Structure 1
Amino acid sequence: MEIYNGRPADENGRLSREIRTYDFLDWLGIPYQRTDHERADHMEACNIIDAVLDVVICKNLFLCNRQKTAFYLLMMPGGKKFRTKELSAQIHSSRLSFAEPEDMLKYLDIEPGAVSIMGLMNDRGQNVRLLIDEDILGDDYIGCHPCVCTSSLKIKTKDVLERFLPATGHDYQTVCLKGEE
């Protein structure tokens, strides 16, 4: 895998959601590094990419409440285990579960395996609440997919929090996940 600065020179064969991600980041003037790779739709595959980009790619979970009236995007370190009960108590929402793929497409224009904070640029109605584990906030860089799971980005955490999120109209809530029984 090679590392590139910015968007691909040849955009042929790339999905429009990926190109829109690069367009949005470029419009905001946010620099990023990128690598292209085989499908990486689970954390084990992302571990190889981590080493290439020298960043930890976040585990991104798209969740909802039982009634499907509240949707959440949770960013956490890939090595942590997700415990529903632990998160539910912090955000005061019981009965959390994984949201349906149809809801991912509807709100984030993302398919399973490519869930990423970048999808918030597509959530113009601010229907999705962003939750970030405190350990992610301590890293200088965030690793994520550009709305597809065949490329990965390395972006400064500060740029994501201070430039990207405000441009999408989203804020975030910090959560503290231990990932223990």
Structure 2
Amino acid sequence: MILYEGRPEDVSGRLAREIRTYDFLDKLGISYQRTDHERADTMEACNAIDAVLNVVICKNLFLCNRQKTAFYLLMMPGGKKFKTKQLSAQINSARLSFAEAEDMLKYLDIEPGAVSIMGLMNDREHSVRLLIDEDILKDEYIGCHPCVCTSSLKMKTADVLERFLPAVGHTYRTVQLKGEE
């Protein structure tokens, strides 16, 4: 894997959702580094990518309540275990579960394995609430997919929070996940 500055020079063969991500980040003037790789749709596959980017790629979970009336994108460190009960109590939403692939596509224009904060640029109705584990906010950089699981990005956490999120009209809520209980 090679580390590149910014978007690919040749975008042929890349999905439109990936190109739109680069276009949007470039429009906002957010600098990023990128690496291309085989499908990385598990945290194990992301470990080698972490070494190239010199950042820990977030575990991103797309969740919903049982009635499918509330959707959440949870960003957390890859090494933490997700405990539904811990999160449910903090956000006052019982019966959280993983959302369906159709919902990922509908709200974030993302397929399973590529869930990323970048998908919020496609949530124009603001149907998805962003939840970020406090440990993610401590890092200078965030690693994520550009809406596909065959490339990964590294960008400053401050740029994501202070420039990207306001541009897409989203805010976030900090949560505290213990990881074990």
Is the TM-score greater than 0.5?
yes
Aligned-residue offset at 1:157:
0.1
Aligned to 2:32: 32
Aligned to 1:63: 63
Amino acid at match of 2:84: T
1:166 equivalent in alignment to 2:176: no
Aligned-residue offset at 1:20:
0.1
Aligned to 2:75: 75
Amino acid at match of 1:147: C
Aligned to 1:104: 104
Matched residue of 2:155: which SS? strand
Aligned to 2:143: 143
Aligned 1:122-133 pairs, distance under 5 A:
122-133=122-133
Matched residue of 1:72: which SS? strand
Aligned to 1:15: 15
Matched residue of 1:9: which SS? coil
Structure 2 CA distance for aligned equivalents of residues 34 and 51 of structure 1: 12
Structure 2 CA distance for aligned equivalents of residues 51 and 16 of structure 1: 27
Aligned-residue offset at 1:2:
0.4
Aligned to 1:113: 113
Amino acid at match of 1:111: E
Matched residue of 1:47: which SS? helix
Structure 1 CA distance for aligned equivalents of residues 102 and 95 of structure 2: 19
Aligned-residue offset at 1:33:
0.1
Amino acid at match of 1:44: E
Count of matched residue pairs: 181
Matched residue of 1:11: which SS? coil
Aligned to 1:47: 47
Amino acid at match of 1:136: I
Matched residue of 1:143: which SS? strand
Where does structure 1 lack aligned partners over 5 or more consecutive residues? none
- What are the superposed Cα offsets for residues 88-137 of structure 1, whole Å, 9 maximum, x if unpaired? 00000000000000000000000000000000000000000000000000
Where does structure 2 lack aligned partners over 5 or more consecutive residues? none
Structure 1 CA distance for aligned equivalents of residues 100 and 2 of structure 2: 34
Please report the TM-score for the alignment, with normalisation by the length of structure 2.
Answer: 1.00
Matched residue of 1:19: which SS? helix
Aligned to 1:4: 4
Matched residue of 1:174: which SS? strand
Structure 1 CA distance for aligned equivalents of residues 5 and 178 of structure 2: 34
Aligned to 1:155: 155
